[in-house]
Amino acid sequence: MGEKVFIFDTTLRDGEQAPGFSMTAEEKVQMAHQLARLGVDVIEAGFAAASKGDFEAVRRIAEEVKGPVICSLSRAIESDIEASAEALKPAERKRIHTFIATSEIHMKYKLRMTPEEVLERAKKAVSFARRFTDDVEFSCEDATRSEREFLYRVIEEAIKAGATVINIPDTVGYAIPEEFGRLISDIMNNVPNIDKVILSVHCHDDLGLAVANSLTAVKNGARQVECTVNGIGERAGNAALEEIVMALKVRKDFFGDLYTEVNTKEIYRTSRLLCMITGSFVPRNKAIVGDNAFAHESGIHQHGVLSNRLTYEIMNPEDVGFPTSRIVLGKHSGRHALKKKLEEYGIRYTEEDVNRIFEKLKDLADRKKEIYDEDVEALIYQEFMRVEEGEPVEVKHFQVQTGDNMLPTATVKLAFKGEEKTATETGNGPVDATIKAIQKALGTNAKLLDYSIKALTPNTDAQAEARVVLELEGVQASGRGVDTDIIKASVKAYVDALNRAILRKEYILQKSGLREEGTV
């Protein structure tokens, strides 16, 4: 069979920490079930000690999701480890992941600890975590900027204390592939008991090298890669799971008999589900899962692909679950077809969900000649993947007056946490006027960073998809909205982003006490 490379998914922990990607407990559970279908080996479900919401998400995933090892991150502090242990109790297979920084700059300025104190804390944390589970992972935060001999020593002692996995994070995305590969090789050759553990890597993408560094590490002996769907994560993101997995699969000539147990046909579905949950999107030219990943516009490329796919495609779209069908459900479709489509998107549903979405689908079919995959996905996002019950901002009503030789004017009626607010504003266009009226009604200083709109499908009756990125008091969030009316779609996207920013801000405040020590 060859030698396995374990895939450790941290979408729900490190990925969720990124601005604009916060998820509710229910959304994390939805995503975790799809990660299990994808076939990842480990799901890092969260940081149980961070907040009540994180604890509940880890606990529910541990209780409901079967197959992968369920993991919770902890600082090298007993209270953190106890929180992780408690949240992980229901899991069939569980892992506690504890970490402490080992670089001089982190020890001196963040931890304010001596190397000896860090070493002792690491040993005690691993030993304490072993009281709750036989599977303990230890990470040397900022390993790539750590003094080499000290790093060897910490790793050796962590293994003696009971660690079963040692993780080497490139926490700030500082490493270059050649030197990162050499670091992994040196660890393999200079830590006497390294053969007793799985060596893992966790790379960030600050220099755009996270995937390259991870693959170089695998080539030099690492057998676990920590990554996220779509490469989301702190700052510039983490190594993209889909790129790691497909590189190992496609380039067997280079990586030899190394393999993963990921079901690659679930990759595209997993990527789309994450986009629906977070209101985010991937660039069209994103490797593996972008809309253009298997598109060919150049005549030369088209001719080549039509003659033989291998001329310009190194993998089949079907291998990653890329959709091939276009027109799907319509007014004559039944609930069984809708259920199948929900399952295709990796969504867990109730009969109530199906009935609600089915009625919306039939209403849309009455207004459109043809229903496309994109229409269905947008409808599911709009009607099912809610931020959470009781969203802070809810649009009750809006009206816009516009036309030739008329100053666009919008009036909005909103509810903010149950309190009704109204406002009227003018703008350069109907969308601008409506957004300004919303801002005035709420008294918000949210800054619009990006706005785009596109038709999802052909024909003049197409649904418009609006995407918004905004910043509220230093917190960024993205949102999307879909409607056959461009102004409605824009309002939905703006309010979606605003709700996510408000909830993200509250979430960060809950976790603010933990941010001082950072994460891997």
Between residues 48 and 373, which one has the greater pLDDT? 48
What's the whole-number mean pLDDT along residues 162-188?
98
Would you state the pLDDT for residue 307?
56
Rounded CA-CA distance 47/44 in Å is: 8
DSSP for residue 162 = T
Q: Who contacts 357 (Cβ-Cβ below 8 Å, separation ≥6)?
A: 338, 342, 379, 380, 383, 384
pLDDT band at residue 349 using 50, 70 and 90 as cut-offs: confident
Would you state the pLDDT for residue 126?
98
What's the whole-number mean pLDDT along residues 97-106?
98
Work out the percent of the chain whose per-residue pLDDT is above 70. 87
pLDDT band at residue 259 using 50, 70 and 90 as cut-offs: very high
Does the pLDDT value for residue 297 go beyond 70? no
Rounded CA-CA distance 406/457 in Å is: 31
What is the token pair recorded at 320?
A: 């990653």
CB distance 472 to 505 below 8 Å: yes
Per-residue pLDDT reduced to its tens digit, 391-430? 789 899 999 999 888 899 999 999 998 899 999 999 999 9
Q: What is the mean pLDDT of the chain?
A: 88
pTM: 0.83
What's the whole-number mean pLDDT along residues 120-134?
98
pLDDT band at residue 18 using 50, 70 and 90 as cut-offs: confident
Per-residue pLDDT reduced to its tens digit, 214-252? 999 999 999 999 999 999 999 999 999 999 999 999 999
Per-residue pLDDT reduced to its tens digit, 80-95? 999 999 999 999 999 9
What's the whole-number mean pLDDT along residues 458-474?
82
| For the ranges 117-121, 322-326, 358-362, 438-442, the one whose mean pLDDT is highest | 117-121
Would you state the pLDDT for residue 183?
98
Rounded CA-CA distance 511/98 in Å is: 17
Lookup result for tokens 């266009």: 429
Q: Poorest-confidence range of 8-17, 49-58, 503-512?
A: 503-512
Radius of gyration of the chain (CA): 24
CB distance 479 to 279 below 8 Å: yes
**Full set of structural domains in the chain with CATH:** 3-283 (3.20.20.70), 299-383 (no CATH), 393-509 (3.30.160.270)
Rounded CA-CA distance 459/88 in Å is: 51
pLDDT band at residue 359 using 50, 70 and 90 as cut-offs: confident
What's the whole-number mean pLDDT along residues 479-490?
88
Work out the percent of the chain whose per-residue pLDDT is above 90. 59
Between residues 363 and 519, which one has the greater pLDDT? 363
397 by Cβ neighbours in 10 Å (0-12 / 13-18 / 19+) ranks as exposed
Would you state the pLDDT for residue 256?
95
pLDDT band at residue 479 using 50, 70 and 90 as cut-offs: confident
Rounded CA-CA distance 384/455 in Å is: 21
CB distance 5 to 225 below 8 Å: yes
Q: Who contacts 272 (Cβ-Cβ below 8 Å, separation ≥6)?
A: 289, 345, 377
pLDDT band at residue 504 using 50, 70 and 90 as cut-offs: confident
